[in-house]
A and B are shown apart, each in its own frame.
Chain A
Amino acid sequence: MDLHLVPGAIPTTAERLALDSVLGPAVDGWDGGTRLQGPEGNTASSGHASRVRRHLLLPALWALQERIGWISPGGLNELCSRLTLPPADVYGVATFYAMLAVEPRSARVVHVCEDIACKCVGSDDLIAQIEERFGAEGELSDDGSATWYRSPCLGQCDRAPAALVSDAGEEPHERTLALTTAVAVLEALAGGDPGPAPVTVLPQAGDPALRLLRRAASTRSVSLDEYRAQGGYAALRRAVELGPEGVIREVKESKLQGRGGAAFPTGVKWEAVARQPARPHYLVCNADESEPGTFKDRVIMERDPFALIESMTIAAYATGCEHGYVYIRGEYPEPQHALQSALDEARVRGYLGDDVMGERFSFDIEIRKGAGAYICGEETAIFESIEGNRGEPRNKPPFPVVEGLFGKPTVVNNVETLVNVPDIVLRSGPSYAETGTEGSTGTKLFCLCGHVERPGVYEVPFGTTLRELYDLAGGVMGGKELQCILMGGAAGGFLRPDELDLPLTFEAVREAKTTLGSGVVLVLDETVDLPRLLMRLAAFFRNESCGQCVPCRVGTVRQQEALARLVSGKTAGGVQKELAVIAEVGQCMRDASICGLGQTASSAIESAIGRLGVFS
């Protein structure tokens, strides 16, 4: 391949240095440095070597974005030479992500959440005030230094309304605004200090029955010594005693099922990877957490990062992985920092690296920062994103356990799934399985948000009823009536107040034709304009579709248009016709889409129509 760069676009020194910080200095003329002298001068020593570093593309794009606030043609040229990648290809990747800009943008950008949980607590108002006092979305401040955009759920729904402030520059900075106000957002836009984000409140703090949230109830990130003092790393020792097969046996006997949405048996997945002869094996922890209404993984990573690190180490030990990735959504600066410092500490103290805890196995973990794409939480899109490609899901089969990251056998697990593992190893699989029900073992984290009295992450054993959980969180706030509950997030389904006695188990929700999804319990009071909320869900799927397959790429648009006609009352041939459009498009998305995004893009909307009778 002959690289053809953008004519005349030259990188600035700042852009060069930003790239060097991720890629290291350029080695020779081939990758953008000085040409080698002497008889070897024309040898392409690093063309292939550069290309195999393609997995550094997203970190490199982030380096440019964080340095000057956008990916300029000069910066892109430099990046392309450094990695021997064609500009059109890199442009295609950059434009896949909502947080990366390919047109000049101000150094400061505030993303204001407009999603379902924030809507419940007045984000529409907040946004209206920003529009009035600052200007329309994307408009620059007078000095050109700041702008703002609407954003999908920022994973702060327990502290809604929320916003994210990003400052590009020599020392880039990002921070979350939670329980925020228009005044605070305007202050942030002006470069002032909107004050620290209020700490996360765990409503069950102090409850001795907590398992996964035991340490997270502390109000700050647990240190390695504290972690150890509270029993940390005993599970890893025990795992080494059990041996890889022993660990997998315990996990299988625990009947642990994935908490990322698909409820796949974790032990079966691990065994499949452990048995693959192809090497290396990879472990990917899915911390993309972009399902609207979900914030449980954030709390674990912020408060109890070593639990995730130990859990991943056990998983890697059992499945023969030497390298693990944690893919964290780009909108999570605080969890990322907490986890990064924990990783650094674990590495220094010998809990990661070539000889983990002196037990003669090697494992290390790398964080990958997403860049604004819900779809990258899909288990194969996450591979594409890590590999430096557009985050487009793969067609399955082959499944990740056979051909995953870099084409190798890969374990993908959700954060919450993983942090169950130490407990399983320590108390044994069968003993773990005593909690919960026959078909759903252990405890489950739920994200209560919306019009609920005490929002937050709750941990309850499987089998707890929705009503018990709802009561635990204090019910509807402000003494209003409950209208309905959205369970499982945008890809979930609505439930009526008379369905509160539903036991929260995989089997019971399946029977009731709904889903636990990512554990969202969005409480909606009588004042909520449900059709408007459905419009938001439809907009979300349209925005987040990767665009690869027709059912989802166009289906999400047609679904939204039909809803818009229903909402405005300007239907084409009556309500029934529009409902039929939604049902027919939904059926095709469910049946013929490549991945779970398209397959579930109509479920909440169809459940509102079918279960709540919203347009009848």
Chain B
Amino acid sequence: MSELLLAPKRMIELEIDGQSVRVFEGETILGACRRLGIDTPTLCYGDTLEPANACRVCVVEVEGARVLAPACSRKAEAGMKVQTDSERVRHSRKMVLELLASSVDLSTTDEIPGYLERYDAQPERFGPPAPPDPDRDRKRTGHHVEPDGQTAATVYAPVKIDNELYVRDYSKCILCYKCVDACGEQFQNTFAIHVAGRGFDARISTEYVAELPDSACVYCGNCIAVCPTGALMFVSEHALRAEGDWREDDQTVTTTVCPYCGVGCNLELHVQDNTIVKVTSPDDHDITRGNLCIKGRFGFQHVQARDAP
């Protein structure tokens, strides 16, 4: 956006699924696909963050390349010939979805049912999911207990409820790195969380698995805002969902300005039954890019503290 105004960029032409398309130099294949209206599945990609290239659900086939390329991060090149729906692409996308859906609880990832259907993915075929592992946070790196294959290993672990503001349910974590990037140098610069461990035991963690109140977390909730799976969730949303009373269709979203300080961040108040249940900020807002601080994100309780003396 603003970069485009600064220096006029060269346009390049490439071919996607037989259609030619012109994009600015530096744009990704995903960007080019969007220009053509080709719907590309993405999970770890977020419009506001640098691509982590981790989930690989967006892979495409670039002519002449040995392996598939992640559309979300591979830059378009002049003359490139890309296929987004070849046999190889469909196979890898389907497998990625099956691998994720068989190991992670994707019940609150909105896109998933559509993706699974589109690629005819059958995650059940790897067997019944293994139960939650209370020791998941303390796995010894590079070791594991040999499986018998009768259940499919999962990342299920007990839900972490250690503060009054948000819940961490890493059974739902696809390890997209977004929360780490948001908490770290891309947005918040707090660095309260990081990926720990390796391989299938890799997980998001604080230092020595400290509870959030003992960690560096400042409860800006920016990790919640970028989490694509609902692994990170407002306590209010988590409680309503637990009661089976989370009704997105009945919610209104009101855009307003945060009253706390002079920055004036835009807030979107998600309201259900006349109660604020969640606060977000628009991703395309010039100042916030979806981010807030603890006051804007969680400082709404006083509005509804009706019974207080």
Contact = CB atoms under 8 A, between A and B. Distances in A.
Contact of A549 (B56, B148, B150, B190): B56
Contacts of A542: 144, 199-200
A249 B198 CA distance: 42
B216 A4 contact: yes
A570 B150 contact: yes
A97 B59 CA distance: 29
Interface centre among B56, B146, B214 (most CB of A within 10 A): B56
A270 B119 CA distance: 44
Given A95-B196, A97-B141, A550 B55 contact: yes
A593 B199 contact: no
A125 interface: no
A1 B88 contact: no
Contact of A591 (B59, B196, B201): B59
B92 interface: yes
Contact of B126 (A92, A561, A590): A561
A377 interface: no
A560 B147 CA distance: 8
Contacts of A187: none
A480 to B, nearest CB: 27
B70 A395 contact: yes
Nearest to B142: A98
B272 interface: no
Contacts of B59: 591-592
A73 B214 CA distance: 13
B194 A91 contact: yes
Nearest to A595: B67
Contacts of B206: 87-88, 91
A547 B216 contact: no
A4 B57 CA distance: 36
A562 B125 CA distance: 11
Given A86-B191, A585-B95, A588-B96, A565 B199 contact: no
B100 interface: yes
B91 A587 contact: yes
Interface centre among B67, B138, B148, B152 (most CB of A within 10 A): B67
Interface residues of A, number: 68
A526 B96 CA distance: 38
B92 A98 contact: no
Interface string A87-102: 1111110011110101
B248 to A, nearest CB: 27
B205 A557 contact: no
Given A555-B95, A591-B91, A87 B199 contact: no
Given A1-B191, A92-B196, A543 B144 contact: yes
A102 B102 CA distance: 30
A152 interface: yes
B99 A594 contact: no
A246 B195 CA distance: 46
A590 B54 CA distance: 15
Interface in A539-555: 539, 542-551, 553-555
Contacts of A592: 56, 59, 67-68, 92, 95-96
Contacts of A91: 194, 196, 205-208
Given A1-B191, A372-B142, A544-B199, A561 B99 contact: no
B84 interface: no
Interface centre among A92, A152, A535, A570 (most CB of B within 10 A): A92
B99 A554 contact: yes
Contact of B96 (A152, A551, A557): A551
A550 B191 CA distance: 24
Contacts of B67: 590-593, 599
Nearest to B93: A592
Contact of A561 (B54, B55, B152, B192): B152
B255 to A, nearest CB: 31
A562 B148 CA distance: 9
Contacts of B68: 591-592
B10 interface: no
Contact of A96 (B57, B95, B138, B141): B141
A150 B141 CA distance: 12
B163 interface: no
Contacts of B143: 98, 149-150, 543
Contacts of A553: 175, 199-200, 202
Contact of B99 (A100, A138, A152, A558): A558
B148 A550 contact: no
Given A92-B194, A539-B144, A556 B152 contact: no
A91 B201 CA distance: 14
A95 B199 contact: no
Interface in A1-47: 1-4, 6-7
Contacts of B100: 550, 554
A241 B22 CA distance: 51
A412 B290 CA distance: 40
A562 B149 CA distance: 6
Nearest to B96: A550
A1 B150 contact: no
B215 A96 contact: no
Contacts of B148: 564-565, 568, 570
Interface in B212-256: 214-216
Nearest to B214: A7
Given A545-B200, A556-B199, A90 B53 contact: no
A103 interface: yes
A493 to B, nearest CB: 17
Interface string B142-161: 11101111101100000000
A138 B92 CA distance: 39
B193 interface: yes
Contact of A581 (B96, B125, B207, B208): B125
B197 A87 contact: no
Nearest to A580: B125
A4 B217 CA distance: 9
Interface in A80-136: 86-92, 95-98, 100, 102-103
A378 to B, nearest CB: 13
Contacts of A162: none
What are the 4 tightest A-B residue pairs by CB atom distance, in nearest-first order? A547-B202, A98-B142, A86-B191, A92-B194
Given A95-B197, A550-B99, 8 more contacts: A2-B216, A150-B143, A372-B141, A390-B195, A546-B198, A547-B175, A561-B153, A581-B125
Interface of B: 53-57, 59, 67-68, 70, 73, 88, 91-92, 95-96, 99-100, 102-103, 125-127, 138, 140-144, 146-150, 152-153, 174-175, 184, 189-202, 205-208, 210, 214-216
23 contacts: A1-B190, A1-B191, A76-B208, A91-B206, A92-B194, A96-B198, A102-B208, A152-B142, A544-B198, A547-B175, A547-B201, A547-B202, A548-B175, A554-B100, A555-B99, A557-B103, A558-B126, A561-B127, A564-B146, A581-B126, A588-B99, A592-B56, A592-B67
